[in-house]
Homo-oligomer: A and B are copies of this chain.
């Protein structure tokens, strides 16, 4: 007997369980939920997935996900074109946009250097970043990469590549997260926050 009593259900569970963080049990729960919903929901979800994958493009300037050749941020004349924030992926763009603290452009690498997973400099959009620095009027590059070994490696690699250019290269501050108790902050973060201490007025919003 078919394990799932239906080949159609089995196929759906199989495809769903290929998603990250979704095992067979969760996939089955999701499939049964979709079965209980209106048929229009399954159609909307299925078609949204297919259309997204087939029609989405990457911005020719910043490499962010976009519906057009150039994304809404790069084509927005109110943004500061001289400051470019380098991030790993689209989620980081969303996170930084949500802070409301940045008005420049982005450069989405589409990954970070990770030798263990076989991701080298040529697998991410580093060359394209150098081209941008060469051709655009960029004054400052802000590295907003993950606070991990891979993030630091990628940052250092980019720093070395961009050093010959007359350009300011900064990195986002690491330190004690707002609202966190010192005693629960890991010692490396706390150590860095002491080394990179700021004049008190610098804390003001």
Known: A18-B41, A32-B91, A53-B34. A48 touches B5 (CB 8 A): no
Residues of B near A183 (CB, < 8 A) are: none
Chain B CB within 10 Å — which of A3, A44, A76 has the most?
A44
A30 at the interface (CB under 8 A from B): yes
Q: How many copies of this chain are found per oligomer?
A: 2
| Docked CA distance A53–B36 (Å) | 9
A124 at the interface (CB under 8 A from B): no
- A contact patch SS: helix
| Docked CA distance A47–B89 (Å) | 27
User: Chain B nearest CB: distance from A14 CB in Å?
Assistant: 8
Residues of B near A67 (CB, < 8 A) are: 6-8
A1 at the interface (CB under 8 A from B): yes
Residues of B near A15 (CB, < 8 A) are: 41, 44-45, 48-49
Contact flags (1/0) for A1-24 with B, using CB distance below 8 Å? 111111111011011101111100
A28 at the interface (CB under 8 A from B): yes
A33 at the interface (CB under 8 A from B): yes
The one of B9, B21, B48 that contacts A26, using a Cβ cutoff of 8 Å: B21
The one of B2, B5, B52, B66 that contacts A12, using a Cβ cutoff of 8 Å: B52
- A-B contacts, 22 of them at CB < 8 A, read A1-B72, A1-B76, A3-B97, A5-B90, A8-B48, A12-B48, A12-B52, A18-B41, A19-B30, A20-B33, A28-B91, A29-B91, A32-B90, A34-B53, A35-B65, A37-B53, A39-B54, A42-B53, A43-B50, A45-B46, A46-B48, A46-B50
Q: Which A positions have Cβ atoms within 8 angstroms of B? A: 1-9, 11-12, 14-16, 18-22, 26, 28-35, 37, 39, 41-56, 64-67, 71-73, 76, 89-91, 93-94, 97
Give 9 new A-B contacts, CB below 8 A, not counting A15-B45, A21-B26, A21-B29.
A1-B73, A1-B97, A5-B65, A8-B56, A8-B67, A12-B49, A32-B90, A42-B52, A46-B49
